[in-house]
Amino acid sequence: MIAEYERVKIAGRLITQSDLHIGSGEREILEDDKTKYYQGICLDFEQQAYLPATSLRGMLARFARILIETKQMSPQDYQTLFGFSNPHHQDGQAGCLRVYDARLSEPLAQKYYRTHASIDPVTGTAQAHKLFTLASVPGDTTFSATFELDRIESRLLDVFMGLLASWNGSAQSALGSGRSKGRGRLSWQRDTIRTLSKEQLQNWLKNESATVLDDSVYTTVKTDDDPPAALSNLPHICLNLHPEHRFLINDPEAVKAAEIQAENEEGSHAADLISMITPKGYAMIPATSLRGWLRARVQKILSTCQITQNTQDEILAQLFGNAERQGLIYIDDAIAAHPIDYQTQYFNAVDRFTGGVADGALYSVEAADNKTLTTTISLPDATRLNTKEYHAHKALLLLAARDILEGELQLGWGKARGYGQFSVEILNNDNIINDWDTLKSKLENYPLQDWIDALQALKNKENTHA
């Protein structure tokens, strides 16, 4: 390869589209409650959050490996960018890419915590003793990022810009923990590209008065057009969720903040349950709730097909992950297009013995109104599967889609009170699919029977071994 540029410097911004947690490995005590702990995040010497260069580089390398698997990038280009080594530590080579830590554009005024609950896949409710708190960077936070490339040709520079553009706010662009649960979404905004030619470098070296190779020596590339995101064609679907009534996914942190405010305002009363919102005030359903419902539905389908528990556990681990592996399915938070309009409602708890109102058990909830929310489900790593596994998994997701379209999606608190019931639309290019018959007609050119046969083969295979 003949290098067209001796060096390229790319500056831009990485903007969080959801909560982001890159753990420091430290468990720390909450400042306002010394009896509770939270998982800390990576902080610099000024105690401000940053994105480690190793995490950014690892994510770009992952994008590139997916492109290799899908035949969109050559292994040689990968090695040029990221380098390679061998088990004997001989004949290795450093890549031409240098990545720097991404720093906050504006310091965060205070630490941001988010409490999460693990969801029981059978009951669909929060598991006992499974509440945990993470320190996080909130959505709409901007980090300044810099990347440098040495001795690179323009063709490979375009490839690299496509990798950067793959940080597009979707599930595949997630960084840190909880990527398949809606956390860590990032979007990339380029600011400048500066290039240094061999001739410019030689002229600078000949200049005896020059001491620093600063930006004035470089040429700024003036272009508004970046290559398309390298991973834009990976499998994904978009869903519109239409609440048929109010819904409420409780946010313990919002309840805690409301209680503190109520203590400082005489005559004020905090709601006992408050629906979750984004940092910008938009109604949301966290990806953990959507993922928990989908996992429980897939498990129910497997049980109905009389698949043994061991095989169920393996399939669920492949799709949704476990402590040992990352799942294949990534789900975004479902977010409304408009700010939330809280609907306050009061309830009396009922005495389960008398059937009457329990004394002193009046409580209030602040639920979200019935505005449409949108989410995306994707399978960025589906290339890990062999054909039969992929067909079986597609059959499971197809049957889950049938259940969603037939009105089985219920989420959050108060399902017995009419809360949390959703109708769903699947967005397919310019088409809107809102019933099972329409979905089947859109898939008539796909080998649906092969998918079902692959699912049924899981049971037959177990019977054969038995």
User: Per-residue confidence of the chain (466 residues) as pLDDT tens digits?
Assistant: 567 899 999 999 999 988 888 877 777 666 666 556 667 778 888 888 899 999 999 999 988 988 887 778 899 999 999 998 766 656 677 889 999 999 999 888 766 666 665 555 555 555 554 566 777 788 889 999 999 999 999 899 989 999 999 898 877 778 887 776 667 889 999 999 999 998 888 888 888 887 888 888 888 887 666 666 666 555 678 899 999 989 999 888 788 888 888 888 777 788 889 998 887 788 989 888 898 899 999 999 999 888 888 888 988 988 888 777 777 888 888 989 888 888 888 887 766 666 666 665 678 899 998 789 999 887 755 555 566 778 888 899 899 999 999 999 999 998 888 899 999 999 877 788 999 999 988 888 888 888 888 888 887 655 544 4
Q: What pLDDT, on a 0 to 100 scale, did the predictor assign at position 328?
A: 81
Supply angle C-alpha 248, 250, 255, rounded to 5. 125
Q: Rounded to whole angstroms, how far apart are CA atoms 378 and 263?
A: 44
pLDDT at 465: 47
Residue 242 burial class via C-beta count within 10 angstroms: exposed 0-12, middle 13-18, buried 19 and up: middle
Domains and CATH numbers, the chain: 5-221 (3.30.70), 236-465 (no CATH)
Q: What is the CA radius of gyration of the chain?
A: 26
Would you state the structure tokens that stand for residue 34, as one six-digit string? 């010394």
Tokens of 101: 């830590």
CB 255 within 8 A of CB 238: no
CB-CB contact of 28 with 199 (8 Å)? no
Joined together, the tokens standing for residue 78 give 């990968």
Question: What is the token pair recorded at 238?
Answer: 């978009």
Per-residue model confidence (pLDDT) at position 406 = 93
Burial class (CB in 10 A: 0-12, 13-18, 19+), 206: exposed
Residue 403 confidence (pLDDT): 94
Report pLDDT for 259. 85
Residues near 250 by beta carbon (within 8 Å), at least 6 away in sequence: 273, 274, 275, 276, 412, 413
Angle, to 10 degrees, between the axis of helix 154-165 and the axis of helix 53-69? Answer: 110
- CB-CB contact of 96 with 1 (8 Å): no
CA 411, CA 48: separation in Å to the nearest integer? 35
Side by side, the strands of the sheet bearing 343-350 are 273-274, 357-367, 343-350
Contact present, 396 and 302 (Cβ < 8 Å) = yes
Say which residues have a Cβ less than 8 Å from residue 76's Cβ, sequence separation at least 6: none
DSSP string, 140-180: T-EEEEEEEEEEE-HHHHHHHHHHHHT-BSSGGG--STTGG
At residue 466, the pLDDT reads 46
